[in-house]
Amino acid sequence: MSTTLTPTLCRDCLTHINTDAQICATCGSTRLVHHAELDELDIAHVDCDAFYASVEKRDDPSLRDKPLIVGHPGGRGVVTTACYIARKFGPRSAMPMFKAMEMCPDAVVVKPNMAKYKEVSQQIRAIFLEATPVIEPVSMDEAYLDLSADTRGDGLTPAWHLARISRRIETDVGISVSIGLSYNRFLAKLASDMEKPRGYSIIPRVGVREFLAPLPVRKINGVGEATAKKMDADGIVTIGDLQALPEAQLVTRYGKFGNRLVQYAKGEGSRRITSSRASKSISAENTFRRDTSSFDVLCEAIEPMCETVANRMVRSKLAGGTVVVKLKTGDFQTLTRNRKLANPTQRADILYQSARQMIEKEANGRAFRLIGVGVADLCSATEADPPDLFGGLA
CA 234-239-242 angle, 5° bins: 50
Q: What percent of the chain has pLDDT over 90?
A: 69
The residue among 45, 27, 28 whose CA lies nearest residue 200 is 45
Mean pLDDT for the chain overall: 90
User: Looking at residues 23-40, what average pLDDT do you find?
Assistant: 93
Given pLDDT bands bounded at 50, 70 and 90, which one contains residue 1?
very low
The residue among 155, 95, 104 whose CA lies nearest residue 131 is 155
Instruction: Name the burial class of residue 382, with classes exposed (0-12), middle (13-18) and buried (19+) by CB atoms within 10 angstroms of its CB.
Output: exposed
Residue 390 clears pLDDT 80, i.e. is over it: no
Beta strands 79-82 and 108-110 are unpaired
The mean-pLDDT minimum among 3-7, 83-87, 120-124, 209-213 falls in 3-7
Q: Which domains does the chain have, with CATH numbers?
A: 1-34 (no CATH), 51-115 (3.40.1170.60), 212-265 (1.10.150.20), 282-383 (3.30.1490.100)
Residue 278 clears pLDDT 60, i.e. is over it: no
Residue 379 clears pLDDT 70, i.e. is over it: yes
Beta strands 79-82 and 282-292 are unpaired
Interval 191-215: pLDDT, tens: 999 999 999 999 999 999 999 999 9
Which residues touch 88 (CB under 8 Å, ≥6 apart)? Answer: 67
| pLDDT at site 277 | 47
Residue 388 clears pLDDT 50, i.e. is over it: no
Cis status of the peptide bond prior to 197, with omega within 30 of 0 = yes
Neighbours of 291 (CB within 10 A): 15
Tell me, what DSSP letter sits at residue 171?
I
Residue 150 clears pLDDT 70, i.e. is over it: no
Interval 156-197: pLDDT, tens: 899 999 999 999 999 999 999 999 999 999 999 999 999 999
User: Looking at residues 375-382, what average pLDDT do you find?
Assistant: 85
User: Looking at residues 310-331, what average pLDDT do you find?
Assistant: 88
C-alpha distance across the termini of the chain, in Å: 60
**Size of the chain in residues:** 394
Q: Which residue in the list 37, 142, 247, 362 is annotated as catalytic?
A: 142
Given pLDDT bands bounded at 50, 70 and 90, which one contains residue 3?
low
Given pLDDT bands bounded at 50, 70 and 90, which one contains residue 233?
very high
| pLDDT at site 392 | 40
Give catalytic status of residue 142 as yes or no: yes
Kindly list the strands in the beta sheet with 177-182, ordered across the sheet, starting from the edge strand earlier in the chain. Answer: 135-139, 142-146, 43-48, 177-182, 200-202
| pLDDT at site 299 | 95
Most confident region among 33-42, 73-82, 222-231, 377-386 by mean pLDDT: 33-42
